[in-house]
Amino acid sequence: MLQKISVVVGCFLMFGLQAQLVTTSLPLLKSTSRIELQPNNTPIFQQKLTTLWESTFDNPAEWVIDHDAADCSLDWKIGNNTCQGPFYIDTIQSTSASDGWALLDSDEYGALTGGSDIEDAWLTSASPLDLTATPNVIVEFETFYRRYNFERPYLVVGVGDGFGNVVWPDLTPTTDISAMDNVFEIFPNWQDGQYSDNPYKVQIDVSSALTGTIDEVYFRINWTGQWGYALFVDDFKVLEQAQNDIKFTDVWVRNEGKDNLQYAKIPVDQLEANWEIGATVRNFGALDQTNVLFDADFTSFSVADTRPLMEVGAIDEMGSSGPVSTPVGLYQGQFTVVSDDETGGPEFDNNELLRNFEITDSLYALDGIDVHPVSELTLSSIGTATYENASDGLLLATMYHIKEPSLVSGLRIMLAPGSIPGGFVLGSIIDTSDFWMNDVDPIFQTEFGYVNAPEIANGYVDVYFPSPTFLDTGAFYAAVKLYSNDNLNQINISDDLTVKQPSFASAVHNSGTSYTNGNALGIRLLMNGGWLNTEENALESVIIYPNPSSGTFTVSNDHGTIQKVEIYNTLGQAIYSTESTGSIQLDLRENGVGLYLVKISNDQSSVTKKIIINK
């Protein structure tokens, strides 16, 4: 079940290599598991508003569970239930998780039916709420959710007729709700494959539904879709809306000309002059707000914007674009929005956000693992166990825009928790237009890199091209292919979820097809030839011959320094080790045919080369 999505991206005229982005329909790959989601370190802020009703799902009688029998037989579950389908997501880590939660396991149901049903299932508050005295209300709950591609969870407000009767709308994933004052998308504008923090707090202003006689109000969470992942809900609250509450829903720091990708590290020679710095701001309070002021302060420069009036419910983009002087260094930004009536106070938590970026000499990174403030950083990972039949040969890729032709020495692969020593990685540069035509033949390819315990402890492994490679202007995918020995030596690559990126920012190639990933996979470019010192260049010049070999071969070593030579089999097991100050002849005839890795190292550096033993 692979639905396709359309993403239109700008084209870049290329010289020499002719790499470009293309307008294309990109399918989304459904992963078998989520690996090592690392929760956002920002605590869910404590709610100061008056609570009108709440449910922690410790009492199932507070809810009515039902579904449209004409469409499906899928139902919500209340309790300490976990996902049971083949493409499960993790269990919610909500504030009151110990006493249960609500779960809609679309994946389990879809796997049983073959994904043919249009699912329509709901969870409705069992008892009415009298909101006559408080018509300005928000609904808040904690959730964990991953979107697949054809589902839309809704929050629906139902007003009774005084006798417990409510007219509920019949909803589908394609329903136009623009004229429905009582129906709200829970995850508006989410991209296919996007997933939330765990937990993620949803707040929805439902005041537009509370008109007329509102002494009998019910709340419903309505899931409709077709074989998605799952939706967890916990700590459901109905709260009196704050009078004054301006808040951020997103912020961005983008260097112009990079297709809206927000790079965390940019080499100084790859910078465009203009920056786009701004935020999406919403008036979430019950009153209009006057003189709304946006400010992004990076100490050495700042960006400001104002709105004389933001009416209740208004959403606006604030900020500016233009030239900014950004020499090499780390830029730590504090984003703030205030109004005449909200300059602090109990609801000010959502008026402030932090966002950093770094200008470097030579390291280019979409991910911000060592850049973003720790309080904001949210990480997940993708690896050899994430997809079916992908333990060896899974290809992950991150997009990079090259403004000025540059030398690239190799790739830095950011390793995530759960990686096990003994696997191998192979880096490459791939033409973007080829990638989306499912052609992932590399323009340039690195040597193999061995993922051992020191690399895992450091959080990355560097892989190098045989010599620094000249990369022309355009947009390219920096890619890494993972080999885990049938997942005996699992490899996980960090995936930075902190910043909302375009769907094509990173990608996956598996079983002959390319898929969008979004987010920021931790695959970095080592640029400008500055990542190989003299000794490393000497090691790169070590030659193994003959290759392939019938079993005996020579490792050249004519540099006059002590080198350690180690040989590993495909299980990551060391089968031979020695030291030499000159060339050395080795014999692997007793170890059998196959692929082996020969690691040559000294006190400063190491290089790993492959040797194939034939009969």
Q: Which pLDDT score is estimated for 407?
A: 87
Label residue 343 by pLDDT band (50, 70, 90). Answer: very high
Q: Write the pLDDT tens digit of every residue in 126-172.
A: 999 999 999 999 999 999 999 998 899 999 999 998 888 999 999 99
Q: Three-class SS of residue 402?
A: strand
Find the angle CA(594)-CA(599)-CA(601) to the nearest 5 degrees.
Answer: 170
- The tokens of 237 are what? 């609250």
Q: What contacts 560, CB < 8 A, 6 or more positions away? A: 581
At residue 108, what are phi and psi to the nearest 5 degrees?
A: -60, -45
The pLDDT-based confidence of 467 (bands split at 50, 70, 90) is confident
CA gap 544, 554 in Å, rounded: 6
Segment 580-609 shows an average pLDDT of 81
Of the pLDDT bands very low, low, confident and very high (cuts 50, 70, 90), residue 293 is very high
Please report which residue ranges of 349-451 form alpha helices under DSSP H: 432-435
Of the pLDDT bands very low, low, confident and very high (cuts 50, 70, 90), residue 581 is confident
Distance of CA 509 to the CA centre of its chain: 16
Lowest mean pLDDT across 149-153, 164-168, 280-284, 343-347: 343-347
Give the tokens for residue 517: 């990933």
d(CA 569, CA 422): 9
* pTM as predicted: 0.77
Q: What is the pLDDT of residue 46?
A: 45
What residue ranges in 484-562 does DSSP mark as E strands? Answer: 492-496, 506-510, 513-516, 520-521, 523-527, 544-545, 552-555
DSSP symbol at 536: H
Tens digit of each residue's pLDDT (9 = 90 or more) over 219-266? 999 999 999 999 999 999 999 999 999 999 999 999 999 999 999 999
CA 227-233-236 angle, 5° bins? 150
Question: How far apart (Å, rounded) are the C-alpha atoms in residues 508 and 19?
Answer: 18
**Phi, psi torsion values for 285, nearest 5 degrees:** -90, 180
Cα dihedral 129, 133, 139, 142 in deg (nearest 10): -80
Q: At 298, is the pLDDT very low, low, confident or very high (cuts 50, 70, 90)?
A: very high
Structure tokens at 101: 């939660």
What is the rounded CA–CA span in Å between residue 235 and residue 95?
7
Task: Sort residue 379 into left (φ over 0), alpha (ψ -120 to 50) or beta.
Answer: beta
Per residue in 538-547, pLDDT (tens digit) is 566 678 889 8
By DSSP bridging, strand 460-471 and strand 506-510 are: unpaired
Instruction: Report the chain's mean pLDDT, rounded to a whole number.
Output: 87
DSSP 43: P
- Cα(279)–Cα(586) distance, rounded to whole angstroms? 61
Q: Tell me the per-residue pLDDT of 8-54, one tens digit each, with 9 for 90 and over.
A: 233 322 222 334 333 334 555 655 444 344 444 443 344 467 899 99
Beta-carbon contacts of 178 under 8 Å, excluding residues fewer than 6 positions away, are: none
Q: What is the average pLDDT across 308-323?
A: 96
Distance of CA 311 to the CA centre of its chain: 33
Contact call for residues 358 and 17 (beta carbons, < 8 A): no
- The predicted-structure confidence for 49-75, as pLDDT tens digits, reads as follows 789 999 999 999 999 999 999 999 999
> pLDDT tier at 192 (50, 70, 90 boundaries)?
confident
The closest alpha carbon to 539, from 565, 578, 504, belongs to 565
Provide the 8-state DSSP code for 98: G
Given a cut of 50, is residue 197 above it in pLDDT? yes
Backbone torsions φ then ψ of 69, nearest 5 degrees: -65, -20
- At a CB cut-off of 8 Å and minimum separation 6, what does 46 contact? none
- The encoded tokens of residue 163 equal 């006798």
Q: Do the strands 606-613 and 363-364 form a parallel or antiparallel pair, or are they unpaired?
A: unpaired
What is the spatial distance between Cα 223 and Cα 225, in angstroms, rounded to a whole number? 7
Quickly state the pLDDT bin for 579 (edges 50, 70, 90). confident
Q: Which two tokens stand for residue 132?
A: 């006559």
Share of the chain above pLDDT 70, in %: 88
Residue (of 27, 28, 32, 25) closest to 8 by Cα position: 25
Q: Which domains does the chain show, CATH number per domain?
A: 4-30+380-527 (2.60.120), 50-240 (2.60.120.200), 246-364 (2.60.40.10), 534-613 (2.60.40.3080)
Judged by average pLDDT, the poorest of 1-5, 439-443, 602-606 is 1-5
332's tokens: 């730590």
Give DSSP secondary structure letters for 291-324.
Answer: EEEEEEE-SS-EEEEEEEEE-TT-EEEEEEEEE-
Burial of 152 (0-12, 13-18, 19+ CB in 10 A): buried
Yes or no: say if 165 and 128 are a contact pair by the CB < 8 Å rule.
no
pLDDT band at 601 (very low <50, low <70, confident <90, very high): confident
Instruction: Provide mean pLDDT across the span 497-507.
Output: 91
- The pLDDT, as a whole number, for residue 535 is 44
